Amino acid sequence: MPAQLIDGIALSQKLRGEIAARAAALTAKGKQPGLAVILVGEDPASQVYVRNKVKACGDVGFHSVLEKYEADLSEAALLARIAKLNADPAIHGILVQMPLPKHINPHKVIEAISTTKDVDGYSVLSAGELMTGLAGFRPCTPYGCMKLIESTGVDLRGKHAVVIGRSNTVGKPMGLLLLQANATVTICHSATADLGVHTRQADVVVAAVGRRNTLTADMVKPGAIVIDVGMNRDDAGKLCGDVDFAGVKEVASHITPVPGGVGPMTITMLLMNTVEAAERM
């Protein structure tokens, strides 16, 4: 039987309804959630991402500020701007769109954002909070993947989860979140000798590689949950994930499509972190 689709658009809509209700309650008390988005330079994909984030804020009743700067903005000027936003009581979340121009150190910029406003969850302190199980902001994409897995109703306790990819923003935090949910976790990467040996044992596979057809049907245990984070283009230029969707859906029990799976959840979890930040302040 083909896998059940995990619908990231429907789940996003449901969660955004809940976020809007929380935002309305805060606004009624005079504390409308506010997100500041900073874009430096002209990267076309980044322009689309920030536009979508700002629009999503409006849709759930947040106040948002989009600050666009020329690519030659100095690192010092950017850090000064972040310091101003850290002190602004109308702003509860600050996001600096990556990648930054080469002359700006992204680590310095991320660490300049107040931990209480680090709604991307990328700072060393937020990573440490995740690592130690403290309540901090979880990076939005893996946080969204957890919500997608939860939506299947499958309890992760005692399950074997395999994450493919070990980036600081997706793979590693994904592994930690799965561990926190009591899964037994394996993290694979480009030096993993035989990927299929690991994925064939997995009850849950999360693919976060950036290479299409990384996970094919012969690499998946029948009945596994498959979450596809990848964003790639096929030969016809169409958006596709890391998973051979047509093949794997015949083997898996649940699978996310691309588009319409993880993608919409990432912005939703940014909104979730921002409303949470406003509630905490």
Q: Please, are residues 268 and 247 in contact by the beta-carbon 8 Å criterion?
A: no
DSSP structural state of residue 101: P
One symbol per residue from 228 to 247: x for binding ligand NAP (CB under 6 A), - otherwise; what is it? Answer: -xxxx---------------
Catalytic (active site) residue 120: yes
Residue type at position 179: L
CB 249 within 8 A of CB 255: yes
| 64 touches ligand NAP by CB under 6 A | no
The token pair at 110 is 């991320």
Residue 143's CB is within 10 A of a number of other CB atoms, namely 22
145, 229 Cβ separation under 8 angstroms: yes
Catalytic residue, from 14, 31, 47, 53: name it: 53
* Residue among 210, 214, 137, 140 nearest 174 (CA): 140
Interface residues for ligand NAP in 125-144 (CB under 6 A)? 141
Q: How far is the CB of 257 from ligand NAP (least distance, A)?
A: 11
% helix / strand / coil in the chain, to the nearest 5? Answer: 45, 15, 40
Q: Does 114 count as an annotated binding residue?
A: no
Q: Which residues pair with 163 in a beta bridge?
A: 187, 206
Tell me: is residue 241 an annotated ligand-binding position. Answer: no
Is residue 12 part of the contact set for ligand NAP (CB under 6 A)? no
**From the CB of 141, what's the least distance to ligand NAP, in Å?**
4
Instruction: Report 143-202 residues binding ligand NAP (CB under 6 A).
Output: 164-167, 169-171, 188-192, 195
| 7 annotated active-site | no
**Judging by beta carbons within 10 Å of its beta carbon (0-12, 13-18, 19+), is residue 102 exposed, middle or buried?**
exposed
Q: Are 227 and 206 in contact (CB under 8 A)?
A: yes
Task: Confirm whether 218 is a catalytic residue.
Answer: no
Please report how close the Cβ of residue 276 comes to ligand NAP at its closest, in angstroms: 19
Size of the site for ligand NAP (CB under 6 A): 25
* List 14, 31, 68, 97, catalytic entry: 97
Active-site residue among 118, 120, 228, 244? 120
CB of 207 to ligand NAP, least distance (A): 8
Known catalytic residues?
53, 97, 120
Q: Kindly list the residues in this chain that would bind ligand NAP in the complex (CB under 6 A).
A: 141, 164-167, 169-171, 188-192, 195, 208-211, 229-232, 262-263, 266
Per the annotation, where are the binding residues? 165-167
